[in-house]
A and B are shown apart, each in its own frame.
Chain A
Amino acid sequence: MAKPPFDNDIRTLRFLAGEMTQAELGERVGVTRQTIAAIEQGKYSPSLEVAFRIARVFGKPLEAVFQWNDGPG
């Protein structure tokens, strides 16, 4: 499975938010812990709504959480 053309800093932001767990973030966003883990690892691209919800939990703009990756191709 190809990785999506964007990276994310969710792990870092969770750490900086008092070591917030994946389960806690998932609960606040409305998805399961496994979905947060999949997003962090680039194995699932969240919907725009979930992406915004994650950014809102950390009080950051979307671009601070997800960054478009201008790789080859």
Chain B
Amino acid sequence: MSPAILESARQLADAEPGDLPMNFREKTAWLNVIAMAAAYSLYFGLLLAGHPAGREVLPMLWLFGSVAVAHAVTVIVGTIILSAQAPKSERARADERDRAIRRRGAAAAYYVLLVGMMVVGVYLPFVESGVALANCGLLAIVLAELVNSVVVLMSYRRGWHG
């Protein structure tokens, strides 16, 4: 093949749009991060504002239960909508890049959760109520999950070599 044809082909090929299209898994990661940030900003915002869920067991269970159910319903409904819109090939399976990115997110989240649980352990002897401890643990889980989703989103956008 002549170098001129090859160069012309290369130029035409390079003329394609450069941005990475967003796939189904990236969209669900966005859904997770937005739903979780919204739900638990509300939860911890109410606690900081003096809601009894920060001190008493029953109000905490009610508030946490309500927020968790609302969060779960949002994610489930959102995933169903995204799934219906996504091409079949994207829904079928995660490929090696999806799995590498998922591993990276989980590894980052592990360290956040580890530190969070250590903080809970240090905090343990100084509290009388288990409610504060439960909220502290919940915060660690939420932060870890947010870090997981943010690392996944960054890896999809900026690239990750696995």
Give the B-binding residues of A (Cβ under 8 A): 1, 4, 9, 11-12, 14-16, 23, 26-27, 30-35, 37-38, 41-47, 50
Contact = CB atoms under 8 A, between A and B. Distances in A.
Interface size class of B (residues with CB under 8 A): 20 to 34
B6 A12 contact: yes
A49 to B, nearest CB: 8
B16 A1 contact: no
Nearest to B94: A32
Interface stretch (B7-15, B33-41, B131-139): B7-15
A44 B6 contact: no
Interface of B: 1, 6, 9-10, 12-14, 16, 18, 20-23, 26, 87, 89-90, 95-98, 100, 158-162
B21 A30 contact: no
A44 B23 contact: no
B159 A9 contact: no
B5 to A, nearest CB: 8
Contacts of A30: 95
A38 B20 contact: yes
Contact of A1 (B18, B98, B159): B159
Max chain B C-beta neighbours (<10 A), residue from A1, A42, A50: A1
Nearest to A29: B95
Among A27, A35, A38, A50, max chain B CB count under 10 A is at: A38
Contacts of A44: 97, 100, 159-162
Contact of B89 (A33, A42, A47): A33
Contacts of A43: 20, 158-160
- Max chain A Cβ within 10 angstroms of own Cβ: one of B10, B87, B90, B96: B96
A34 B158 contact: no
